[in-house]
Structure 1
Amino acid sequence: MWRFVSLISRKLKITAIIASVFIVLMSAAYGAFYIWNKNYKFNNNYVWQPLEDVQSTLNLKDSYNVIVAGTDPEGITAALSAARNGMRVLLVEARDRNMLGGLLTEGGLNTLDLNYSPEQPQLLSSLRQPDFLNKGIFQEWFDQIEGSSFDTNTAANIFYRMVRSEPNIDLLMNVKELVPLTEQSTGDYTTITGMSITKEDGTTVQISTRSIIDATQDADIAAAAGVPYSIGRQDIGDGKSKMVSTLVFKLSGVTDEVWQKFREREGTGVDKMSAWGYGDARKYESSNPQHIKIRSLNIGRQNDDTILINTMQIFGVDPLDPISVKKGLEIGRKEAPLIVDFLKKNYDEFAGLKYAGTADELYVRESRHIYGEYRLTLADVMENRDHWDAIGYGSYDIDIQSTSVGNPGTIMLSPIQYGVPFRSLVPLKVDGLLVVGRAASFDTIPHGSARVVPLGMAEGEAAGAAVKLAYIHKESFRELSTSEERASELRKMLENQGMDLKVHRFEQPDYMEHKDYKGLLAAASMYMTSGNYNNDGWELDKGMNPERFLSKLKRMQAMFPEAYTGSADQALANMENAVTLPLTLDQAAYMLCLAMGSSETETSLEQALAHLQTQNFISADTLVGIADKNNLTNGDAFMLIRDVVEYYSGVVFD
């Protein structure tokens, strides 16, 4: 008995010792992790590398399977994808550039807007890389750069090494002019036959091809070939406004010790390579307030103790006018040192830094949007829709930047995962052409999300693979785009070369369950409302007032000027406190009638609702859904607008 008790006692002592050792080891590990996380995790141990000299191909071929126009990341990815599928590729650049990577390198945009997967790693998440949508060639490149921000030399060199490693790619830089060659085909369509290229030395060559991938930032090749397009916000009735441009500038002297100070700033987020925040920097007083201001700072770190800052907002730049772009650069370069002086005076961590110049190119967010076989809509993004021919997925916020000094811009919503159809890369009117990147077939509002570079790289990878698929089946891109069988083949090809086209499981956002969701979708599609980062800014159950309703009707009229020729302003002419009074159903109906062109003598306040019902411009379901006819909510108002736009104008947002 005593032996048994002694044995148990001995085992308990051993267990206690083991437990104590385990606790000590875990405490030591935690202490080491704490010290590393506090003092070393944010150190930059990457080695700066000089920029490699980009060499153009000396001996061009007479013909290629595909010509890719543009060396932004989307074009590089398209060229790599086509080459790895056995196609002979000419990658050609018509801008004056000395490195590959375009916007990310020449434009200094060294902080990425990323498409995160809805499912992220939970175990040791702080030590693991986030999970991105699509992967493929983007992931291959991303795994070789420093992180969420990167050194532009690193990025450019990796792009060049990837291109140079493919024997099927010929690279031609600094050409003076690219002109697509076409011939008339059936109906109203033209077909690509080649490209006329004026080289840097002024000589012109004509190279034949049956396929061109337009990866220029502004769809220059598509426009020259006759593809229809809209510019900026034309599709929401705003043909004049232009989304703000940015000139990235550089500061030097950012050691690891200085970087630690960025972490100590309240309201600022920091990782090893990126910092963001400084919302009060908006107090900066511009020397040119009509054309320039700054917003909060996005800071990307480099490997030579410099940082690149994306904060400057330059208004009124027309990206399709070289003179306007040149003027925008001049304005930005004049303002950049003044912004740096402001930062040095107001923030201790900037005090010892030095201004080190600007990027060579402007960061332009929006210009042409081609019309393709399918145009991505807000409904696609808002409802996180998949498509039978989806070749890539997005999840970045719909970030619609400012268009004027007094307009702060809009975060429309944050999607979870939506698909981009192959059809959105296939332009109308021209065969043998694909368009990838921000100028693909997207409406202007969803473009605020779909414009980001990682999604454009997924489009480029799909376009490159589609060249091989069209070659195998001897079909046009348009024929491919009409076939579910071909779409399945294309998706299989992309998955086999490393892309992830899985749709993750997630719950749809709450706003889709609201009784007034259809009205919300219509209002958001007409740029009348927004949901912000958390999709909680719609305020569908909040009361609407007459003045705000009038502003919504003016937005509707701007979008459909031919259908709504009247003015609802007169309805508020004798109304006091139009901002604080609730909107009634009769008032809303009356204002809608006036906007449609009815005069006060034709439709009175008392008759307006009956008139709309008689003409079937308002549905019975909408009226039943209004709980208080003397105090309409935002959702009620949106449903009324939605009905009139559908039943009177014939436009459905779905």
Structure 2
Amino acid sequence: MEGLYMARAAADEGLSVKIIDTRKEFGGQLLQGQMFFLDEAKDGSGTSLLQGRVKELFTGFKGGSIRKLPEFENYVQTKLVGTIPVASGIQIEQIDTVTETSGLETVKAITYSVNGSSKIIQADYFVENTDHAALSSRLKATPLPSSNSFYGGKELEFMAAGLMMKFKNVDWAKFNKEFNGLSAADKTKNYGGGYVNESFALGLTGMTNRFKTSNDRVFLRGLNALNQGGGQVAINALLVYKVDPSDPESIKEAVELGSKELPGILEHFRKSIAGWEKAELGDIPTYPYIREFTRYETEYVLKPSDMLGGSMHWDDVSIAGYPLDLQGVSFVKWGIQMGIPDKYGMPLRAFELKNYSNVLTAGKNVGANVVAYGSARIQPNTALAAESIGVILGQIHGNKQLRELNEADMKELHQYLAKTYKIKLTGVKGTNKLTNWSEEEIVQLDEGKIVFASYKPKKK
């Protein structure tokens, strides 16, 4: 949904916007994948970094008014899509481009088919907002290395996808009370530790580790569980490896592999978790939660040192923060955390496809190397960037192109964002956690050869 923030902001700024969707069913990760456990962006002291329209979503989420599918659907339709036209189930037939005198490529038009009819759409800007690079993969763009390169795999592979688990008839009050009534030793013995309150449950990895899946491509990790109310619970914990979102058969297989494990997981939870004795399976999403697919080089590619160094940029469109959280792959099932930044800026250039004058990226298509992507990929980070870019497009329309913007232009645009939308992108300082690092060590960090949390810099 991250790109919808750009669409909404651009439309509200007076631009003509249309959404063309290669999926037959609208809503992707949030509505089709039902990935309802939302990760909040915070700085190193735990202070929320939420700004812009996405802040309203998180306010409803944390307060309990936006936790179930109909509530998310209503939010997306009323707050984001509105009257913006949407064409779902389209197939791209042709992309017309020209090479400018500057050497940049410009997309002039896209020909697509929908319901048997062929249509042509022209636009000043086109935005890649799919989880399977529907547009970028057909352009002269350079792929960025994916997770297999970090973990040492030779075959292309991405971070594990996930199948959201839905349960009903859960007595969450009992779960919360009995878990928090245990001594620390008993929490460790029964659940392997963890955290539970009236809304969320995190971890409990000792309990989940006792469940063994029937297929090596599926793995039950620690819980990210959401109390949706009324006995309903949504959990992000079931990983499925080797999923290719560009292949419909791979998507179908991922859902089938995950679904096959659910009866066993239900029985395990009934026996292992207080308050789950009478739990039942809820509906099964028809689409997996895709964390990663092939991304393409942008004008600026974020690195771990940008994040851990607290870097800010003249053209920032988001102030972001989140651990560098890399989920696992099939041959390294547990992922790794490569460090926790304070906060950092995400520049406009990280959302401009390299060598193209008018192709932007949104959401998980952000320009970040394989390690930095662990933080950059988080929804609030890129949702704020998308909204800022949408506003900027509206403000410069008819006057300048994005690539013509200079520091003075951005200063004015930042002021407009602050005054009109209360989005603050300047005057923010992130803690530099790399002050004692040598240039060589920083290069190794950016290449994924150093795990920040366990490394002691040699230079003092």
What TM-score results when the alignment is normalised by the length of structure 1? 0.63
1:564 maps to none
| 1:295-316 superposed Cα distances (whole Å, 9 cap, x missing partner) | 1111012244211111112122
Counterpart in the other structure of 2:450: 529
More moved, 326-335 vs 144-153:
144-153
Aligned 8 A contact 1:233 1:242 in 2: yes
Aligned counterpart for 1:88 among listed residues 13, 16, 38: 16
1:147-296 to 2 correspondence within 5 Å? 147=63, 150-163=67-80, 165=82, 169-177=84-92, 180-186=95-101, 188-199=103-114, 201-233=115-147, 238=153, 240=155, 241-255=157-171, 257-261=173-177, 263-264=179-180, 266=187, 267-280=193-206, 281-288=208-215, 290-296=216-222
Shift in Å, 1:513: 4.2
Task: Tell me: CA distance 1:465–1:395, structure 2 relative to 1, closer, same or farther (3 Å).
Answer: same
- Residue 490 (1) aligns with residue 418 (2): no
Paired residue secondary structure (1:363): coil
1:302 partner letter: Q
- Higher RCO structure, 1 or 2 (CA under 8 Å, sep 6+): 2
Q: Does 1:478 align with 2:403?
A: yes
Shift of 1:493: 3.2
1:51-80: per-residue Cα shift (whole Å, max 9, x none)?
xxxxxxxxxxxxxxxxxxxxxx21210111
Tell me how many residue pairs correspond in the alignment.
445
Structure 2 partner of 1:619: none
For residue 224 of structure 2, what is the aligned residue in structure 1?
A: 298
Q: How has the CA–CA distance of structure 1 residues 523 and 231 changed in structure 2, closer, same or farther, with 3 Å as cutoff?
A: closer
Q: How far apart are residue 365 of structure 1 and its match?
A: 1.1
CA contact (8 A) 2:414 2:424 kept: no
CA-atom RMSD in angstroms: 2.6
Q: Report deviation, 1:158.
A: 0.9
**Are 1:466 and 2:381 an aligned pair?**
no
**3-state SS in 2 of match to 1:183:** strand
Percentage of pairs with the same residue = 22
Matches within 5 A, 1:563-578: none
Shift of 1:142: 2.7
8 Å CA contact 1:229–1:368 kept in 2: the answer is yes
How do 1:318-467 and structure 2 match up within 5 A? Answer: 318-467=244-393
2:127, 2:311 → 1: CA distance? 26
- Aligned equivalents of 2:295 and 2:60: distance in 1? 32
The CA deviation at 1:350 is 1.9
The answer on whether the counterparts of 1:276 and 1:299 sit within 8 Å (CA) in structure 2 is yes
Whole-angstrom distance in 2 between the partners of 1:382 and 1:419: 11
Q: 1:345 to 1:178 in 2, by over 3 A?
A: farther
> Could you say if the C-alpha distance between residues 96 and 152 of structure 1 is closer, same or farther in structure 2, counting changes exceeding 3 Å?
same
After superposition, where does 1:77-156 map in structure 2 within 5 Å?
77-98=5-26, 100=27, 102-118=28-44, 131-147=47-63, 150-156=67-73
Bigger Rg, which one: 1
Change in 2 beyond 3 A, CA 1:164/1:459: closer
- Separation of aligned partners in 2, 1:321 and 1:385: 37
C-alpha distance in 2 between matches for 1:110 and 1:179: 35
Following TM superposition, by how much is the alpha carbon of 1:419 offset from its aligned partner in structure 2, in angstroms?
A: 0.6
Distance in structure 2 (CA, Å) of the matches to 1:175 and 1:303? 37
The amino acid across from 1:374 in the alignment is Y
Separation in structure 1 between the aligned mates of residue 427 and residue 205 of structure 2, nearest angstrom: 35
Partner letter of residue 501 of structure 1?
L
State the 1:528 CA deviation: 2.5
The answer (yes or no) to whether the contact 1:114–1:454 under 8 Å persists in 2 is yes
Which of 522-531 and 326-335 deviates more?
522-531
Alpha-carbon contact 2:310-2:430 (below 8 Å) kept: no
CA contact (8 A) 1:212 1:434 kept: yes
Q: Distance in 2 between matches of 1:406 and 1:376?
A: 24
Q: Which moved more, 1:225-234 or 1:278-287?
A: 225-234
The alpha carbon displacement at 1:469 in A equals: 3.6
Cα distance in 2, alignment partners of residues 526 and 262 from structure 1: 45
Distance (whole Å) between structure 2 residues aligned to residue 272 and residue 430 of structure 1: 48
Q: Residues 226-272 of structure 1, C-alpha deviation per residue, up to 9 Å, x if partnerless?
A: 32222514775755242111111111012453453464363332333
Residues 575-601 of structure 1: CA distance to partner in whole angstroms, max 9, x if unpaired?
xxxxxxxxxxxxxxxxxxxxxxxxxxx
Deviations 1:11-57 (A, max 9, x none): xxxxxxxxxxxxxxxxxxxxxxxxxxxxxxxxxxxxxxxxxxxxxxx
Deviations 1:169-202 (A, max 9, x none): 2233343447544333335432122332322x22
Aligned to 1:317: 243
Q: Taking structure 1 as reference, are residues 180 and 494 closer, same or farther at Cα in structure 2, changes over 3 Å only?
A: farther
AA at the equivalent of 1:150: R
Residue of 420, 425, 432 corresponding to 1:501: 425
C-alpha change, 1:163 and 1:298, in structure 2 (3 Å) is closer
Structure 1: any 5+ residue segments left out of the alignment?
Answer: 1-72, 121-130, 541-634, 640-654
Change over 3 Å in CA distance of 1:406–1:145 after alignment to 2: closer
Asked if 2 retains the 8 angstrom alpha-carbon contact of 1:384 and 1:415, the reply is yes
State how far apart, in whole Å, the 2-side matches of 1:446 and 1:488 are: 26
* Residues 1:406 and 1:133: Cα distance change in structure 2 (over 3 Å): closer
Aligned-partner Cα distance in 2 for 1:340–1:268: 19
Contact 2:195/2:204 (CA < 8 Å) preserved in 1? no
